[in-house]
Structure 1
Amino acid sequence: MNPVDLRLYGIIDPERTGGRDPVELVRQAVSGGATLIQYRDKHAEGRHLVELARTLKAALEGTRVPLLVNDRVDIALAAGADGVHLGQDDMHPNDARDLLGPRAIIGLTLKTPEQADRMGSIPVDYGCIGGVFATVSKNNPAPAIGLDGLRKILPHARLANRGPIGAIAGIDVSNAQAVIAAGADGIAVISALFMAADPKAEARRLRGIVDQALTSRGGFP
């Protein structure tokens, strides 16, 4: 299992940048304390996806912050990304691991306790539970699970997998502390970070909230 720091997991989606350069926004977020970056783009063509993923990877050079690609194992391979994040309907993690190799980071979206239970038999490095709160960053017909849903799924994920477990959807400075207090190891953030007027400052605020909440809970750091 590969170590992954999920404390502040920034998901960059060109549709959620306010028309600004995603590469510069990622640089700012990492400078402010983001610990992991995922590139997500549901609409771009393959060549553009590879080019931007390569540019993002180059921008993260020397920061020790990994770059993951959402859904697309082929794009991650072509761009030399550090791994992928997979949904329940994407390529099976076994196949992704075979293609990407043992050192790649593979994450998995978890929406139910049953999905969390199955983590024990598949080669993933972390899970991300969601959507916790309502969000406009993704077209998701399923209702938000809330903190109660997060608390329900987390024990299943802990028993099945030794990797960290994060939370996603609708998380910002108003509720990040509650998410960590509920048991998550980190937060995945899209709009609250990359639609912010100052992503570096917002990353610093979010990271501070997460670190303080983890310390209060007796967890990492």
Structure 2
Amino acid sequence: MKQIDLSLYAITDENLIKPENLAEAVEQAISGGATVIQYRAKNKNSRQMYQEATVIKKVCDKYGIPLIVNDRVDIAIAVNADGVHVGQEDLDVEVVRRIIGFDRILGLSTKNLEQVKKANSLPVDYIGFGSIFPTTTKENAKVSGIETLKEVIKLSIQPVVAIGGINHKNVIEVLETGCKNVAVVSAIFGSDDIYSATKKLKAVIEKGR
């Protein structure tokens, strides 16, 4: 399985970034210190997703940063992305691994300790866990909280990426649990100055790690 720096995992959001600004937004995030980019689009058709993912892949390749595609294994393969991230209701992890092989990264979302425990025996490279704090970027996101994250860190044999409502003000609480990686959406792409917002968050993470 691939080695990957998951420390600052930036996830795109179609409600925060206009299609024409996608390349610039991703470039600013990478320049500010994002170590992974995930392309996530829930309300676009396959053609639009392919076009947008192709744009992002070019930027990621320019800086040597991995591109992960959310949910869509077909889009990930079509643009030669570095990996796929799936949720509990998506295609089964073992099926995804069979399709993408072991050269690509595979991530899995988890929401509770039972799912984390199960992930220990699955062929994934990392797990996402959350929501850590209240968030507006995912509908019906249940808040798991810091205390549960501490348990996850003890339980998981996979690298853990904390997600949900994380920003430069509360990221230290996350790092203090022993979690070394955070995924953010609004804290980066919801900012008027994506580069500065990413750099600020990166500085706190590096200090806290």
Structure 2-normalised TM-score? 0.95
Which residue in 1 is equivalent to 2:185? 190
Q: Which of 161, 164, 168 is matched with 1:166 structurally? A: 161
Bigger mean CA offset, 15-24 vs 72-81? 15-24
Q: Distance in 2 between matches of 1:19 and 1:36?
A: 19
How many angstroms does 1:156 deviate by? 1.4
How many angstroms does 1:18 deviate by? 6.8
Consecutive unaligned residues of structure 2, counting only runs of 5 or more, are none
Which residue in 2 is equivalent to 1:94? 94
Task: State the SS of the aligned residue for 1:118.
Answer: helix
How many angstroms does 1:180 deviate by? 0.8
Are 2:19 and 2:52, in contact at CA under 8 Å, matched by a contact in 1? no
Q: Distance in 2 between matches of 1:37 and 1:112?
A: 24
Are 1:11 and 1:188, in contact at CA under 8 Å, matched by a contact in 2? yes
Identity of aligned residues (%): 38
Bigger mean CA offset, 66-75 vs 14-23? 14-23
Are 1:38 and 1:68, in contact at CA under 8 Å, matched by a contact in 2? yes
Give 1:1-221 correspondences, 5 Å limit.
Answer: 1-17=1-17, 21-140=21-140, 142-157=141-156, 161=157, 163-214=158-209
Task: State the SS of the aligned residue for 2:120.
Answer: helix
How many angstroms does 1:19 deviate by? 7.6
Q: Distance in 1 between matches of 2:183 and 2:50?
A: 22
Structure 1-normalised TM-score? 0.90
Task: State the SS of the aligned residue for 1:57.
Answer: helix
Are 1:4 and 1:126, in contact at CA under 8 Å, matched by a contact in 2? no
Consecutive unaligned residues of structure 1, counting only runs of 5 or more, are 215-221
RMSD: 1.4
Q: Distance in 1 between matches of 2:204 and 2:169?
A: 10
- One-letter amino acid of the counterpart of residue 122, structure 1: L
